[in-house]
Amino acid sequence: MLNYLWAAMIAVGIIYAVFTGNLEAITNAALDSAGEGISLCITTAGVMALWMGLMEIAGQSGLVAKLTKGIGPVLSFLFPRIPREHKAREYIATNMIANVLGLGWACTPAGLKAMEELARLEQERGNPEYQHGVWQKETGGSASPRKQTAASRTASKEMCTFLILNISSLQLIPVNMIAYRSQYGSTHPAAIIAPSILATLVSTIAAVIYCKIKDR
């Protein structure tokens, strides 16, 4: 749907430019935007490399493990059915820490790993959808080993809670927005910090309340 919407907007803009004699302005704007896009990618790539490197150092030094233990009570409150020593807790904690620091790039790999571990947890619980996969369940045939590990179409309660919290995550340092504001010439790129903390705090509280209500 979005592809059609963007295509229609571009087509309308070009047609309007042709009839109003502003086609040259459209061409110049397209070239300028392409250059700005490359420049923005380089800037954000540098920021991403810096913070990803710091997160990797934190993981290798054991800092992430210590932080995971530190937020253990929070994880137990949010995910009471996940065993304390399960690998999913570590990946969820890493994802939450990266989100709090505003590192959308760094939290994605941990989030995917967390989902894999939550699926494995459902296998350990004996959930048939995660034991045999969608292919075998729908066809009734004997699936190959690769197809037997197919993901279920039904998300567990922990998966739903994790996804909602990941989307609404509290951010103390919105690195992405600071980088964008700096790239486009903001005189105070870090001024977004206070509004960001307030907005994401409200969204996180709302997400926690919603998850707890629906979990019942």
Terminal-to-terminal C-alpha distance of the chain: 35
Query: Which of 48, 54, 57 has the alpha carbon at shortest distance from 175?
Result: 48
What is the overall mean pLDDT for the chain?
80
Query: In this structure, is the dihedral angle defined by the CA atoms of residues 13, 18, 22 and 24, taken in order, positive or negative?
Result: positive
Q: Per mean pLDDT, which range of 128-137, 179-188, 205-214 is the poorest?
A: 128-137
What is the structure's pLDDT at 84?
Answer: 84
Residue type, 18: V
pLDDT at 207: 93
Distances (CA, A) of 55 to 46, 103, 187, 197: 14, 10, 28, 21
Q: Which helix (H) or strand (E) holds 16?
A: helix 2-20
Arithmetic mean of pLDDT, 179-207: 87
Residue 193 predicted with pLDDT over 80: yes
Q: Is 9 exposed, middle or buried (0-12, 13-18, 19+ CB in 10 A)?
A: exposed
| Reported pTM | 0.65
What stretch of H or E contains 154? none
DSSP characters for 41-95? Answer: HHHHHHHHHHHHHHHHHHHHTTHHHHHHHHTHHHHHHH-TTS-TT-HHHHHHHHH
Residue 59 has pLDDT above 60, yes or no: yes
Distance between CA atoms of 215 and 10, rounded to whole angstroms? 44
Amino acid 170: pLDDT: 83
pLDDT tens for 83-133 read 888 888 888 988 888 888 777 666 778 888 899 999 888 888 877 666 654
